[in-house]
Amino acid sequence: MDLSVKQKFEAYPENIRILLESIRDLIFSVAKQEGILDITETLKWGEPSYVSKIGSTIRFDWKVKHPEQFCIYFNCKTSLVDTFKEIYGDTFIYEGNRAIVLKINEDIPLEALIHCISMSLRYKKLKHLNLLGA
Q: Could you tell me what percent of the chain has a pLDDT over 70?
A: 98
Give the pLDDT band of residue 131 (cuts 50, 70, 90). confident
Q: Given this model, what pLDDT does residue 132 score?
A: 72
| Cα–Cα dist 15/32, whole Å | 26
**Among 95, 16, 27, CA closest to 58:** 27
Give the pLDDT band of residue 127 (cuts 50, 70, 90). confident
Give the pLDDT band of residue 115 (cuts 50, 70, 90). very high
Cβ proximity of 39 and 27 under 8 Å: yes
Instruction: List phi, psi (to 5°) of 33.
Output: -60, -35
How does DSSP assign 76-129, residue by residue? TTSSHHHHHHHHHGGGSEEETTTEEEEETTS---HHHHHHHHHHHHTHHHHTTS
Q: Is the pTM of this model over 0.85?
A: yes
91-to-13, 17, 82, 100, 129 alpha-carbon distances in Å = 27, 24, 13, 10, 22
pLDDT value at 114 more than 80: yes
pLDDT tens-digit map of 36-58: 999 999 999 999 999 999 999 99
